[in-house]
Amino acid sequence: MAAPNAEEDMSYDGPGERWDTAWIQYDSRLWPKSQEEWEEHRYVFKSYVGWYTWSEEEELYDTSQPSLAERDEAEWSEIEKRIFGFVDQDKNFADWIRLFSQEDRKTQDILTHTEQASFWKAFFRAFGLRVMPRFQAHLEAFSTSVEEGHQRCLSV
């Protein structure tokens, strides 16, 4: 959505694509082509920001800083070290993945899709791809499984 240039474009104030959200809308004509364009502050942390209204303060990714996942393990907090130490063990990781693929009752997951997606987003943001080989083995097994819980976990 291009920035508005007519007075009537600015009159709509409902949810969705509006003139004031044009800067965060996907536009293939605005792909970053230089380092400066990549470092512009236009990547919003929360996907719903600006959909209905703008809050007083927003968080944006600072692309000039290394991400959490790019840190050395020496820079991790004590809790991050303990979490990674836990999931870095095969049995613990298998149990952990099993938890995410269980259903409490038919069609009722222990965690909702939204909760799981938020969890995995935060997990990979913190640890990057360090656990991906172990994670991928479970995902490949889930992809051939006919169990609904496995398929639902895989879809997140």
The structural domains of the chain, with segments of one domain joined by +, span 1-65, 68-155
pTM over 0.85? The answer is no
Distance, in Å, from the CA atom of 142 to the CA atom of 85, rounded to the nearest integer, reads 24
The per-residue pLDDT for range 112-123, each reduced to its tens digit, is 777 778 888 888
Q: ∠ at Cα 39 (10, 48), nearest 5°?
A: 45
Report, as an integer, the average pLDDT of 129-139: 84
Q: What is the DSSP string of 124-152?
A: HHHHTTTTHHHHHHHHHHHHH---HHHHH
Q: Whose CA is closest to 88, among 103, 99, 75, 73?
A: 73
C-alpha–C-alpha distance, residues 127 and 124, integer Å: 5
72-130 tens-digit pLDDT: 888 888 998 998 899 889 899 888 888 877 765 555 656 677 777 888 888 888 888 88
Residue type, 45: F
d(CA 12, CA 110): 40
